[in-house]
Amino acid sequence: MKRLVFAIPGDLATSTGGYIYDRRIIEGLLELGWQVQVLGLGEGFPYPDQATRQAACERLLALDLDVPLVIDGLALGVLPEVAARLQQRHPLMALVHHPLAFETGLSAEQSASFKDSERRALAHATRVIVTSPATASDVIKHFSVVPNLIDSILPGTDRVARAVGTTGKEPLQLLSVGSVVKRKGFDVLLASLANLTALPWQLTIAGDLTRDAEAVSQLHHDLERFKLSSRVHVLGAVDAEQLEACYARADIFVLASRFEGYGMAYAEALAHGLPVIGTNAGAIPHTVPNTAGLLAEPGDVESLTRALSQLLQDTDLRQRLSQGAYLAAEQQPSWTESASLFSLVIKRAIAEHAKFKQA
């Protein structure tokens, strides 16, 4: 029997890219015959209180020996001490969606602390799984991970219907999907759109409003300051059916992220055949080719304004990028393919752990 423990901080049902990745990989592994135990590590990561940290360590150390163990990097990155002990007990796989030290808004001291903690934790992993080649480069460069220990497994993309968009008589519909946190750049997006009020557009924002109170407050402040409340619809977190409806009626996808370890929302937009406006930060240029979108400088209002203005006013360009998006999406893996690769990495980790114990 193929057994696996998948350790998750927080709630696996959370509708953010990292949790969606974890859920879909787990679903795929179950279909491949793995018996997957989902182990909850508690709330508050990557800032767990002492009781949560202790309970998480106790749960991990109570697992049966030699069962392969995947730990989401949101938790493992702040548990280097238990990682050292787990290395002796399990084929240990670290799943890094986005290095903790690269989160927007950290102080220099916080970033340095996360970098040191995550570097020490990753040093004890049998394999390090990342969700993009860009993140692979980051963990090699900034966290001293040996290249041959890294496996890059892209998120899968569902094959979905192309967006219908507007009829041409309505304002163009912009869609932005992402949790309202500073890293997603909604402050930059609204400041850019404030320069373009003479053009016909409406924006829908779909994403969790509970993760960053300061960013949410800034969002509502900017809506009032720029007098955009009547043109911007903030939905909060939505279910899959609602999100699909948002994609279906959109004309353009826009997300002004300051950094992404992959950017699943960009990939979903491509799958719907939407022309994309993003930034050239992190892994985004690897996800969105220049045949499918326009990429601005992260945090740069003028650069994003130019990209928005160009795409809002050029129908031919939107059509070309829409076709490019659809073609780019066809090159992306399915979730079945991503889960199959993940399964192979688990088997590789099991074999490498056996050699480690014999050494």
**What confidence score (pLDDT) does residue 359 get?**
74
Work out the pLDDT band at 169, boundaries 50, 70, 90.
Answer: confident
Residue 185 CA, chain-centre distance (Å), reads 14
- What number is the average pLDDT over the span 153-169? 89
302 has a pLDDT exceeding 80: yes
pLDDT one-digit tens code per residue, 24-75: 999 999 999 999 999 999 999 999 999 999 999 999 999 999 999 999 999 9
Percent of the chain with pLDDT over 90: 93
Structural domains of the chain, ranges and CATH numbers in brackets? 2-156+334-358 (3.40.50.2000), 172-330 (3.40.50.2000)
Estimate the crossing angle of helix 17-31 against helix 264-271, to 10 degrees: 70
Q: What is the mean pLDDT of the chain?
A: 96
- Tell me how far apart the alpha carbons of residues 53 and 43 are, in angstroms, rounded to a whole number: 10
Which band of pLDDT confidence, cut at 50, 70 and 90, is reported for residue 1?
low
pLDDT at 11 over 70: yes
Whether the per-residue pLDDT at 213 is higher than 90: the answer is yes
Rounded to an integer, the average pLDDT of 262-285 is: 96
